[in-house]
Amino acid sequence: MSSAVRRRFRSLMPLAIIAATASGEVTRTTHDGWTDSLRISNGTVDLVVVPAVGRIMRYGWIDGENLLWRHPDRAGHIGLTRENTWANVGGDKIWPWPDRHWPAATGETLRDIDPPTEWEHAPHRAEIFGPLSVRIVSPTWKARGLRVVRDITLADTGTRLTLTTRFERDPATNDATPAAIVPWSVTQLARPDAVVVDYTPGEPRAYGQLLGMSWSSALEPDRTTLWLPSPGSVSKIGVTGRALGWWRGDQLLIQRLVAPEPDDAWKPYEQAQVFWAEDPGEGATPYVELEFTAPVTTKPTALTVTWELHRLRSSRPTMDEVLATFLFSQP
C-alpha cells in the first residue's frame, strides 16, 4: 500500500477509541434461559459466559445489540437436538483442531463427524478469578482424555477482551501417546455487511476449491487485505493471517491472533478461517464464523485471541473508513 493511501486511511480513522472509567464487575445472571450465567462488564462493553453450554453467548456495547449469533429456537437449550444430533446454539466456543479427530456423527445427520459431545453438550465448570476474569473448564473428552481450560478477561476500560485457551490432559487418562490436537476458536456472529481479512500474500486461501464452495464476491483492496461481502451461499476461506474484522453499520469488531508464534508453524490456509452461512437451515438466520487455530503439534500449546470493538465515525461508513480502522488500530 502506498504512503499516500495510508495517509488517506489515517485521516478516516475514528477520533478516539471509546473508553470508560473502570467500573468492572462479574455478576451472576440468567441469559436467554440459561441460568447460572456470568456477566462481565466494565461500563463500556459487556459479555455473558454461559457455562451450561461452554460458550460466550453475548458481546457488545452496554445496552447495545448482541453481536454474537444465537440459533433463534435454542434459547436455554442444553444437549443434543430432539433428533439426537449435534445442536448448534451459536456463540463463541472452542473446538479441537484438526477435525479429523472428531467422533463419528450421532443420529440422523448430514454430517460425517461431530465435535466432542462432552465439550458441546455438557455443562462446564466456571470460576471467577479476577475482577473481570472468568475461567471455564470443560468435562473430559473421554476418547482423548482432554479438557478445555479457557481464561476470559475483559480490560478495565475500553473494549478489549482476551481469550486464552489450552487443552489439559486428564490425569486419569491412560493415553501415553497423545494425538496432535490443538485449540480452534470459533466465533459465530450475526450477518455482517462484510468481513475484512489481513493475510500473507501468495498463500492458498480458498476452501472453495476443496469443499465445492466459492467466494466470487471477494475483493482485494491491497495485496495483503481481503474484503468479503456475502458470497450468496455457504463458503469458507482460510489464510495465513492474524487479524479478522466483522463490520456492520457503524461497528467494527476486530479479532487478533496473539499467540502462539511464529507464523510459519501453520500449514497454508489453516491459521485463520472465515465461514459464511447465508442459509444455515433449521429456520436459523444467516451468520459468519471468525476462526483461529493453533499450529498442529503434540506439545502443549495455548491459543490467545483478542477482541476489540470500534465505533466508526460515520453511521454509513465507506470501505475506506472501515479499512482504515481495521489496518491502523493498535493491536
In the chain, domain spans? 3-328
pLDDT in tens, 93-148: 999 999 999 988 876 666 788 999 999 999 999 999 999 999 999 999 998 999 99
- More confident of the two residues 114 and 290: 290
DSSP annotation string for 252-298:
EEEEEEEES--GGGSPTTTSEEEEEES--STTPPPEEEEEEEPPP-S
User: Is pLDDT above 60 for 7?
Assistant: no
Q: What is the pLDDT of residue 216?
A: 82
Greatest mean pLDDT among 177-181, 203-207, 308-312 lies in 308-312
The highest-level CATH class for domain 3-328 is: mainly beta
Q: What is the pLDDT of residue 174?
A: 65
**Among candidate residues 107, 111, 138, 69, the one with its CA nearest the CA of residue 289:** 69
**Among candidate residues 300, 297, 299, 324, the one with its CA nearest the CA of residue 310:** 324
Q: Quick one: angle between helices 3-11 and 319-328, nearest 10?
A: 100
pTM of the entire predicted model = 0.90
Cell numbers linked to 169: 490432559
Q: What is the pLDDT of residue 175?
A: 62
